[in-house]
């Protein structure tokens, strides 16, 4: 199906996307990685063919130019149905081509023929076809891979089964310091190596197999995912555990599926240590992981925790969404 424009409607525009935002988009999952969903993400590489062939971000497609230099949307992509459309070049930081060129000391790399602002020029074309704002990766490929080198590849074609089998990384809550995931990720050696994780908050009944004999690196909250389970008694000590370990290395908070118990723990931490009200912590965490779902008992305990921390109940948990 070819891309179709909608000239009668207002174009959704262009926004900047922080590297951590793209990292979390790439690592969303339900039972399978969301990258396997046809209409979830289109990631476009606006660099030269030589740069793209050397290395690019996973699932990225190089967007080509016609003879006049205009970017051409691949005919197989219908952007009208894509939830996330992200484009990157080498190092774009601004949403103004002129400013971007003025800010670049070397406007054209003679070896790679990289022009500043190519991501923005590409995004201006893509926005004609999308229903949501086109996102430009701030700092481009260079900045993203400086933090997430393990998400670059030379692979060009991805079969549906390969995307289904892709193991997402834990989502990033506090950049470079706090991650949230599931039991499978907590047992995966390469994930720990790539993210430099050195401590766990295990919010499940399962035993931690990655640090089985090192109690100093594990804070275990052995509760079931039940509305009757009491987790709040662990909140204070857990927050101090995370704070103390984050000073040295990243911490992973996980539960069996990574949806209810670990999100409750992270929300409690955001309320206590990041000084966010429950409603703000909830909104922030949903942007990191879209399918968080603490059970009703845990939501009640989080409301009580908010009252204890701030000496007032700020969030109305009877509202839809909690």
- Per-block mean pLDDT, blocks of 10 residues, the chain (322 long): 50 91 97 94 96 97 91 89 96 63 39 65 94 96 97 94 94 97 97 97 95 90 96 98 96 97 98 97 97 97 98 95 92
pLDDT of residue 9: 56
Q: pTM of the entire structure? A: 0.90
CATH topology match: 14-164 vs 171-310? no
Phi and psi based region of residue 140 (left: phi greater than 0; alpha: psi -120 to 50; beta: remaining): left
The DSSP 8-state label assigned to residue 29 in this structure reads: B
**CA-CA-CA-CA dihedral for 156, 158, 159, 160, to nearest 10:** -160
What topology is assigned to 171-310 in CATH?
A: 3.90.190
Q: Which residues face 17 on adjacent strands?
A: 137
The structural domains of the chain, with segments of one domain joined by +, span 14-164, 171-310
Which residues partner with 80 through β-bridges?
Answer: none
pLDDT at 96: 59
> Strand 171-174 relative to strand 84-88: parallel, antiparallel, unpaired?
unpaired
pLDDT value at residue 197: 97
H or E element in which residue 15 lies:
strand 14-17
CA 290, CA 312: separation in Å to the nearest integer? 28
Q: Give the distance from CA 217 to its chain's centroid.
A: 25
- pLDDT at res. 116: 56
The yes or no reply on domain 14-164 and CATH 3.40.50.720 is no
What's the CA gap between 239 and 249, in Å, rounded?
15
């Amino acid at each position: 199906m070819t891309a179709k424009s909608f000239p009668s409607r207002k174009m959704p525009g262009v926004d900047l996307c922080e590297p951590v935002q793209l990292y979390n988009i790439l690592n969303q999952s339900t039972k399978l990685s969301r990258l396997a969903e046809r209409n979830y993400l289109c990631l476009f590489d606006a660099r030269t063919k030589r740069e793209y062939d050397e290395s690019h971000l996973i699932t990225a497609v190089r967007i080509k130019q016609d003879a006049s230099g205009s970017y051409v949307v691949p005919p197989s992509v219908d952007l009208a149905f894509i939830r996330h459309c992200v484009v990157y070049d080498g190092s774009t930081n601004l949403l103004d081509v002129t400013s971007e060129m003025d800010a670049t000391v070397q406007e054209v790399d003679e070896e790679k023929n990289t022009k500043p602002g190519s991501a923005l020029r590409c995004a201006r074309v893509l926005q004609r076809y999308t229903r949501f704002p086109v996102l430009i990766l701030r700092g481009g490929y260079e900045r993203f891979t400086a933090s997430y080198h393990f998400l670059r590849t030379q692979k060009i074609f991805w079969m549906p089964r390969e995307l289904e089998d892709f193991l997402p990384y834990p989502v990033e809550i506090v950049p470079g310091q706090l991650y949230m995931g599931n039991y499978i990720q907590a047992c995966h050696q390469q994930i720990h190596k790539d993210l430099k994780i050195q401590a766990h908050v295990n919010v499940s009944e399962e035993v931690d197999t990655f640090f089985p004999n090192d109690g100093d690196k594990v804070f275990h909250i052995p509760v079931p995912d039940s509305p009757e389970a009491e987790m709040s008694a662990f909140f204070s000590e857990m927050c101090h555990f995370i704070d103390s370990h984050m000073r040295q290395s990243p911490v992973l908070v996980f539960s069996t599926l990574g949806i209810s118990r670990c999100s409750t723990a992270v929300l409690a931490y955001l309320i206590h240590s990041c000084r966010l009200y429950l409603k703000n912590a909830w909104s922030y965490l949903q942007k990191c992981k879209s399918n968080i779902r603490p059970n009703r008992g845990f939501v009640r305990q989080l409301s009580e925790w908010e009252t204890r921390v701030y000496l007032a109940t700020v969030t109305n948990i009877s509202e839809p969404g909690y």
